[in-house]
A and B are shown apart, each in its own frame.
Chain A
Amino acid sequence: QKEVEQDPGPLSVPEGAIVSLNCTYSNSAFQYFMWYRQYSRKGPELLMYTYSSGNKEDGRFTAQVDKSSKYISLFIRDSQPSDSATYLCAMSPGGSYIPTFGRGTSLIVHP
């Protein structure tokens, strides 16, 4: 079993839909949970990070962590074609540690 599991998709949704992206993990030592966005032919860029359990909101994006279930989610409201990208979850035991990445989920938002 991999430390971080993420469905590669692709996930195709119409513009305006609410998107839910998810990851599960097995290492209970993980405390920091990150979401990266990677456009085609670009490097990943950090979208959001969350420490421990709970929710964090940033504009149309909401990150949610449920440590009891070892499950994290990223919600995108009012999705736009410009949101089409690969979304990678990542997690680490501490802020200075090198994170473990999921495989990434390919999201396609069609007009």
Chain B
Amino acid sequence: SAVISQKPSRDICQRGTSLTIQCQVDSQVTMMFWYRQQPGQSLTLIATANQGSEATYESGFVIDKFPISRPNLTFSTLTVSNMSPEDSSIYLCSVKTSGIRRPYNEQFFGPGTRLTVL
């Protein structure tokens, strides 16, 4: 299993500012994922953060808006830049177990960061 912590747990920000969300995992993992969860919407994958290389972004998400850092195998940050009220959401960090002997690689989530943009 994996235990994931996120900081901050919540924040209220002004339009046009940026917020950096931190994600810490209690074990080394190859891939970390950042999701957005908007009210009434499904979990949407923003990007996959790989240690030692550029993050891979999903359609509709760009690096200028959501820059990601992955300095080591247990830590990642997601920045929400130049925020607007449409960015109000819960942002979740996630990791997936790996191993060829597992039939299914379980996915673990952090508690989320609840962001409100005014």
Q: Does B78 contact A (CB under 8 A)?
A: no
Give chain B residues whose Cβ lies under 8 Å from the Cβ of A42.
111-112
Task: Report the interface size for chain A: residues with CB under 8 A from the other chain.
Answer: 25
Q: Does B106 contact A (CB under 8 A)?
A: yes
> Does more than half of chain A's interface fall in helix, strand or loop, or is it mixed?
loop
How many of chain B's residues touch chain A, expressed as a range?
A: 20 to 34
Contact A98 B33 (CB under 8 A): yes
Q: Across the two chains, which residue of chain A brings its CB closest to B48?
A: A98
Contact B45 A41 (CB under 8 A): no
Q: Does B43 contact A (CB under 8 A)?
A: yes
Q: Across the two chains, which residue of chain A brings its CB closest to B9?
A: A41
Q: How far is the CA of A102 from the CA of B37 in the complex (A)?
A: 11
Contact A95 B109 (CB under 8 A): no
